[in-house]
Amino acid sequence: MKIRGAYIAAAVAAAIMIAFPAFLGAYPLNVARSVMTYMALAVSWDMLLRSGQISFGIAGLFGLGSYASILAVLRGGMDPLLSIAFAALVAGLVAFALGFAILRLRAMYFSITTLALMEIFRIIMHNLHDFSGGPEGVVLPEVIFGGDASALYWLCLGGLAVTIGASWYFERSKLRLALTAIRNDETSARSNGIDIFKYLLVAFVVTSTLQGMMGAIQVQSYGFTTPDTAFDANFTLLPLAMALLGGIHSTIGPMAGAVLLGIASEWLKLKIPYGHLVVYGVIIIIVILFMPNGLFGLARKAIRKAGGAGSPGSASNGSDAEEGAR
């Protein structure tokens, strides 16, 4: 009963999202694309976080996907749409190869290594002048779909849908149990016969693939990239902040956070042309201080208070956020 309700709500939401271009202008669609891109990155980052591994390499895989896609089109004459799949594959393969080395690392050392890898990708693209265009980047002769606002929106929505789908699968399959077990107590997870490395590798490769795909979608939508655009540290830090502000270890939390920060930044910019980023920073501080479990954590708390005991919801794993406070 409860599950069916969730499905209906999701279907309605999806229908509304798909129909957006029918009643929204080019500007809201453009903002929506930006929000959806960050949303997909935030959700994909959270998927790996569910195993306890904190990646600082989102921008690295995003940028890698951007370059793989644009260079495949420009140097290899690939179809733009196909190049998105190709870029996702490249990001996945790179993650697969790197995973063998870096997934043995834990905590901060894993984070730093992913950050360093991002910088290495950036420096390589920066220095391969003839192949990657060097610091000035590369420009496509034409944007995908001729720049049609609705088509670009649907493309981005498609990327987001794939990401959310993967995240839901992570939440509902035995992957979730395995990843949660690894996060909570690696030693006992191992003694229970969980192949930790295998699950970490799956999570790392899948999330990297998704991040590479979003990079490719972004680059095809704007038709150009430079090392500083593709590997912008904001593609790492903002998804992190969004996931945290929304509530981690869930699909819906990072989504809520992306909507909050994405729309806040655009709205503030129009209201306060000079100095809007000050308010943006203050919002982040305030949310962290007063909603330590994020928007979704707060909502969950309110529901629990209102509804007594509450139920182990299908899409939420209630106790996760509080666990960190142990």
Partner 1 sequence: MVNKRKTTLVVALIAAAAVIILAWRPTVLIYGLQAAGLYASIAVPMGLILGIVHIVNLAHGEFLMVAAYATYLLCKSLGIDPYLALLPVTAVTAGLGFVVYKLTIRQTLKAPELNQLILTFGLGISMTQIANLLFTSQTRKLSFDYVSASIDIGELSFGVYNFVFLGAALLMVVGLRWYLTRTTAGKAAVAVGQNPRGAAIVGIDVDRTYGFVFAMATALVGMMGAMLITRSAVFPTVGSPYTMKSFCLVAMAGIGNIPGILGASILLGVSENLLKAFRGLRGWADIVFFVLIITVILGRSIRGKKA
Partner 2 sequence: MKKALAILMVACLAVPAFAQSGGTIKLGGTWPLGDITGKQGSMAAQQAVDEINAAGGVLGRKLELIVIDDELKADKGAAAVEKLVTVDGVDALIGGMASGVALGQIPAMKKYGKIVIATGAASYKVEEALGPDANWYFHLHPWDYNQGASYAQGWDEIQKKYPAVKIRKIFLAYEEGAFGKSSFDATKVLFGADKRYSIDGASFKSAALGGGDYGAVLEAAKEFKPDLFLWAGYDADALPMLEQAKAMKFTPGIYLGAPPGWPVDFGASKLSDNVMLYGMWAPSINDVSKVSKAFYNGFVAKYKVEPATYFAPLSYSAVYIYADAVKRAGTTETAAVIKALEATKYASPLGETITFTPSNIIKHQGIKNQKILQWQNGRQEVIWPFEAATAKPVYPFPKWK
Longest CA pairwise span in the chain (Å):
64
Nearer to partner 2, 93 or 124 (CB): 124
Task: For the segment 101-120, give every residue that binds partner 1 (CB under 8 A).
Answer: 101-102, 104-105, 108-109, 112-113, 115-117, 119-120
**229 is an interface residue for partner 2 by CB under 8 A:** yes
DSSP class of 224: E
The one of partner 1, partner 2, none whose footprint includes residue 101, by CB under 5 to 8 A per kind, is partner 1
| Shortest CB 197 distance to partner 1, Å | 13
What does R_g of the chain's alpha carbons equal in angstroms?
A: 20
Of residues 139-198, those binding partner 2 (CB under 8 A) = 139, 143, 147, 149
Contacted by 263, from partner 1, partner 2, none: CB < 5 to 8 Å by type: partner 2
Site string for partner 1, 161-200 (x = CB under 8 A): ----------------------------------------
Residues 6+ apart with CB under 8 A from 260: 242, 245, 246, 287, 295
Nearer residue to partner 1 within complex by CB, 115 or 219: 115
Which DSSP string corresponds to 110-162?
HHHHHHHHHHHHHHHHHH-HHHH-GGG-EE-SS-GGGG-HHHHHHHHHHHHHH
Q: Which is nearer to partner 1, 23 or 290 (CB)?
A: 290
Which is nearest to 213 in space by CA: 30, 71, 61? 61
Q: Please give the size of the binding site for partner 1, defined by CB under 8 A.
A: 41
Residue numbers 262-281 binding partner 1 by CB under 8 A: 274-275, 277-278, 280-281
Q: Which of 3, 7, 16, 188 binds partner 2 (CB under 8 A)?
A: 16
Q: Which of residues 98-137 bind partner 2 (CB under 8 A)?
A: 126, 134-137
Spatial distance between the Cα atoms of 118 and 113, rounded to a whole number of angstroms = 9
Contact predicate 211/240, CB 8 Å: no
Q: Which does 273 bind (CB under 5 to 8 A by kind): partner 1, partner 2, none?
A: partner 2
Q: 317 Cβ partners below 8 Å, 6+ apart?
A: 171, 176, 180, 249, 250
Concatenate the DSSP letters of all residues of 14-44 into one string: HHHHHHHHHHS-HHHHHHHHHHHHHHHHHHH
Do residues 43 and 168 touch, judged by C-beta distance below 8 A? no
- Sole binder of partner 1 in the list 9, 13, 288, 302 (CB under 8 A): 288
Alpha helix positions (H), the chain: 2-23, 26-49, 58-76, 80-102, 107-127, 129-132, 149-172, 174-184, 186-191, 196-222, 227-230, 234-246, 252-271, 276-290, 294-306, 320-323
Q: Which does 12 bind (CB under 5 to 8 A by kind): partner 1, partner 2, none?
A: partner 2
Q: Which residues pair with 139 in a beta bridge?
A: 224
**The binder of partner 2 chosen from 3, 7, 27, 304 (CB under 8 A):** 27
As a whole number of angstroms, the distance between CA 262 and CA 245 comes to 12
Contacts with partner 1, residue ranges (CB under 8 A): 54, 101-102, 104-105, 108-109, 112-113, 115-117, 119-120, 123-124, 126-127, 237, 240-241, 244-245, 248, 274-275, 277-278, 280-285, 288-289, 292-293, 321, 324-325
Contacts with partner 2, residue ranges (CB under 8 A): 9-10, 12-13, 16-17, 20, 23-35, 126, 134-137, 139, 143, 147, 149, 218, 222-224, 226, 228-229, 232, 234, 252, 255-256, 259, 263, 266-267, 269-270, 273-274, 276-277, 299
